[in-house]
Chains A and B, each alone.
Chain A
Amino acid sequence: MSSPNKDSYFLPSESIFPFWGSVTLFLIAFGAANFLNENQIVSGSTVFGMGIVSIICLFFIWFRKVIHESPDYNLQVDKSFRMSMGWFIFSEVMFFAGFFGALYYVRQLAVPWLAETDLLWAGYEGGWPTAGPAGAEHIGVDKAVSADGQFAHIGPWGLPLLNTALLLTSSVTCTIAHHAIVLGQRGKFNFWLGLTWVLGVIFLYYQVQEYTHAFHELGLTLGTGVYGSTFFLLTGFHGFHVAMGTLILFIIWLRSVTKGHFTPQRHFAFEAGAWYWHFVDVVWVGLFIFVYIL
């Protein structure tokens, strides 16, 4: 490792991690492509699995290294990290923007156009939710389907509302934790941060419940036309982000509880996780409004 150089610049030493990471991404990507197809060249699941194991190890080792190095980081490095995290979150915002855009487009344009196209889709009336002119028939909110070719959708005021409450609360607890660490109150920090990730877990639990309900009782799956597509892709990617966020906060929590990491002055890892958490929260509010309520 290069020597600390607090007055001017910090230059990290050579590292094999990036190369390792590239191999890992290749394994995941190549594995996934094989996995999805019948005539696989290699066993997709094996390669994919290797990639996942590798990425977990990599994260572990890479972050450990960063943690060890972190006393050497000067203010400039700290600022670089902050900026990068901000821009990374911006990229995530754009990722979701694409899906929200798709939702807007199908609801406002595609479905009404299809409904107008009598020559091809006689009798199709559009509306929302819809599984399209040849898809399943929409029978209402939270209504168990009795036959094939029907689906119901999930109303906002049950689980989704609860989940909204959970996530919003977790944003608050996260902020309390932040204040605590700034004031150096370790115990308080551990408690509120712990509560935050626990709320995340509960959220995920309900999300799984909701999906199960949708699949088994409401006839709502990924294949339920555009409604199912947009619903599951938006909530699914969000759920994945919540899972990641929960994991991050959990690890931060573990570091604080077991190793006593983070000081009132230096706790950027926590802050980054918190930013991410707030971002995931905001996306959820968007989802709640545009996917569930409207």
Chain B
Amino acid sequence: MVLNFLKVFQLKKHILQVLLTLSALLMTTISHVAVAAYEYDFPEQKTQIGRELTDLHHFVFYVCLAIMVFVTIWMFASIFMHRKSRGVEPANFSHSTTLEIIWTAVPVLILIVMAIPATKMLIKMEDTTKSDITIKVTGYQWKWQYEYLADNVDFYSTISTPRDQIDQYNNDAPVPQGENYLQETDNHVVIPAGKKVRILLTANDVIHAWWVPKLGGKKDAIPGYINEMWIRADEDAIGTYRGRCAELCGKDHAFMPIVVDVVSQEDYETWLAANADTASDQIKSVAAAKLAQPKQSVATTE
């Protein structure tokens, strides 16, 4: 088959070698540049799943890059070599069954190679069993509600970036924006490091999506239904992580951030205790009423 390829394309062996070497070179350079800094790529992940996800992302990216390099070199080789200005006479071939079989079969193989790890990864991510704690997250226009189901903790979390940092309509006197501009909230979500946290997502009005890039994937929060995802922050991931709503939910879609504090188990318990006491009955009863009461709208028989 390779011989046939060479024949049809009248490709000399050494040209093929040069092409292959070139592609390898180009690939390594581009890929090094591409993953050199985080602002070009996924942010550094703080969960095992997140790291595996990043690896998968890189793997798929390299495969695609290799294909791209192959296409590029092929294309530019002919642009360079087979131009009229160099006085070449056009060949007249117009098909080659062998070749066509090759470039149907090889992509299929490449796809299978990508599909296998992807399938494994997906199965792992969808397994929400054996979790340590469960948090129910409800999206509202435009804030988040967090209920720690077993622990009686329940609060809302709203953006706390000052409005005058956002409204810059007056260009003469811009208000300087803080470091965490648009990524700060009044109440933070607190989760313990190293524990499997199951997150139940729903919404009260329209669809939202809950996403903290450094803690792995996102899921939609859909009114009337519950979606599940889980995260397990690394043992040494203690710190603050910032995320945002990722599904268009109206005017303030860009203004309903998520801030997650990953803390030690001890600190987590202290926090729970402090908040279980303070979680005002008022909030709780509102939430309970929300749960008991069906959503507005539906017009029943009149």
Judge: A and B partners, yes or no.
Answer: yes
Q: Which A residues form the contact surface with B (CB < 8 A)?
A: 113-114, 117, 119-121, 131-136, 145, 148-151, 219-221, 223-225
Interface-facing stretch out of B69-77, B88-96, B101-109, B292-300: B292-300
Task: Report Cα–Cα, A114/B299, bound state, in Å.
Answer: 18
Contact status B225-A117, CB under 8 Å: yes
Contact status B301-A223, CB under 8 Å: yes
Q: Which residues of B contact A221 (CB under 8 A)?
A: 301-302
Closest residue of chain B to A119 (Cβ to Cβ) is: B226
Q: List 13 A-B contacts (CB under 8 A).
A: A113-B225, A120-B226, A131-B298, A134-B295, A136-B300, A136-B301, A149-B300, A219-B301, A221-B301, A223-B302, A224-B300, A224-B301, A225-B300
The 0/1 profile, CB within 8 Å of A marked 1, for residues 273-302 of chain B is 000000000000000000100110011111
Contact of B224 among A120, A145, A219, A225 (CB under 8 A): A120
User: What's the minimum C-beta distance from A279 to chain B, rounded to whole angstroms?
Assistant: 33
B202 interface contact, C-beta 8 A: yes
Top 4 nearest A-B pairs by Cβ distance?
A: A134-B294, A223-B299, A219-B301, A136-B300
Contact status B224-A151, CB under 8 Å: no
Contact of B298 among A119, A132, A145, A151 (CB under 8 A): A132
Contact status A145-B225, CB under 8 Å: no
Q: Which residues of A contact B200 (CB under 8 A)?
A: 119
Contact status A150-B301, CB under 8 Å: yes
User: What's the minimum C-beta distance from A220 to chain B, rounded to whole angstroms?
Assistant: 7
Contact of A120 among B202, B299, B302 (CB under 8 A): B202
Contact status B301-A148, CB under 8 Å: yes
Q: Which residues of A contact B302 (CB under 8 A)?
A: 148, 221, 223
B51 interface contact, C-beta 8 A: no
Q: Given A119-B136, A119-B200, A120-B202, check contact A135 B298 (CB 8 Å).
A: yes
User: What's the minimum C-beta distance from B88 to chain A, rounded to whole angstroms?
Assistant: 44
Question: Which of A117, A120, A131, A219 has the most chain B CB within a 10 Å cutoff?
Answer: A120
Contact status B224-A135, CB under 8 Å: no
Closest residue of chain B to A114 (Cβ to Cβ) is: B224
Closest residue of chain B to A131 (Cβ to Cβ) is: B300
Q: Given A119-B136, A119-B200, A120-B291, check contact A225 B226 (CB 8 Å).
A: no
User: What's the minimum C-beta distance from B288 to chain A, rounded to whole angstroms?
Assistant: 12
Q: Given A119-B200, A120-B202, A133-B294, check contact A220 B224 (CB 8 Å).
A: no
User: What's the minimum C-beta distance from B194 to chain A, rounded to whole angstroms?
Assistant: 26
Known: A121-B294, A151-B301. 16 other contacts (CB 8 A): A117-B226, A120-B224, A120-B291, A131-B300, A132-B298, A133-B224, A134-B294, A134-B295, A136-B301, A145-B301, A148-B300, A148-B301, A149-B300, A221-B301, A223-B299, A224-B300
Q: Which residues of A contact B291 (CB under 8 A)?
A: 119-120
Task: Report Cα–Cα, A149/B302, bound state, in Å.
Answer: 8
Question: Which of B202, B298, B301 has the most chain A CB within a 10 Å cutoff?
Answer: B301
User: What's the minimum C-beta distance from B302 to chain A, rounded to whole angstroms?
Assistant: 7
Which of B203-245 touch A at CB < 8 Å? 224-226
User: What's the minimum C-beta distance from B129 to chain A, rounded to whole angstroms?
Assistant: 16
Task: Report Cα–Cα, A135/B294, bound state, in Å.
Answer: 9
Task: Report Cα–Cα, A148/B300, bound state, in Å.
Answer: 8
Task: Report Cα–Cα, A97/B200, bound state, in Å.
Answer: 34
Question: Which of B294, B298, B302 has the most chain A CB within a 10 Å cutoff?
Answer: B298
Contact status A149-B136, CB under 8 Å: no
Q: Which residues of B contact A149 (CB under 8 A)?
A: 300-301
Closest residue of chain A to B291 (Cβ to Cβ) is: A120
Q: Which residues of B contact A114 (CB under 8 A)?
A: 224-225
Q: Given A114-B225, A117-B225, A120-B202, check contact A220 B298 (CB 8 Å).
A: no
Q: Which residues of A contact B294 (CB under 8 A)?
A: 121, 133-134
Q: Which residues of A contact B300 (CB under 8 A)?
A: 131, 135-136, 148-149, 223-225
Q: Which residues of A contact B301 (CB under 8 A)?
A: 136, 145, 148-151, 219-221, 223-224
The 0/1 profile, CB within 8 Å of A marked 1, for residues 134-163 of chain B is 001000000000000000000000000000
Q: Which residues of A contact B224 (CB under 8 A)?
A: 114, 117, 120-121, 133
Task: Report Cα–Cα, A189/B295, bound state, in Å.
Answer: 58
Task: Report Cα–Cα, A32/B225, bound state, in Å.
Answer: 33
User: What's the minimum C-beta distance from B281 to chain A, rounded to whole angstroms?
Assistant: 21
User: What's the minimum C-beta distance from A145 to chain B, rounded to whole angstroms?
Assistant: 7
Task: Report Cα–Cα, A120/B201, bound state, in Å.
Answer: 11
User: What's the minimum C-beta distance from A270 to chain B, rounded to whole angstroms?
Assistant: 44
User: What's the minimum C-beta distance from B84 to chain A, rounded to whole angstroms?
Assistant: 40
Task: Report Cα–Cα, A224/B105, bound state, in Å.
Answer: 53
Q: Which residues of B contact A220 (CB under 8 A)?
A: 301
Q: Which residues of B contact A145 (CB under 8 A)?
A: 301
Task: Report Cα–Cα, A131/B294, bound state, in Å.
Answer: 13
Contact status A223-B225, CB under 8 Å: no
Task: Report Cα–Cα, A151/B136, bound state, in Å.
Answer: 34
Task: Report Cα–Cα, A131/B301, bound state, in Å.
Answer: 10
Contact status A225-B298, CB under 8 Å: yes
Contact of A223 among B202, B226, B295, B298 (CB under 8 A): B298
Q: Which residues of A contact B225 (CB under 8 A)?
A: 113-114, 117, 120
Q: Which residues of B contact A113 (CB under 8 A)?
A: 225
Task: Report Cα–Cα, A221/B300, bound state, in Å.
Answer: 8
Q: Which residues of B contact A224 (CB under 8 A)?
A: 300-301
Q: Which residues of A contact B298 (CB under 8 A)?
A: 131-132, 134-135, 223, 225
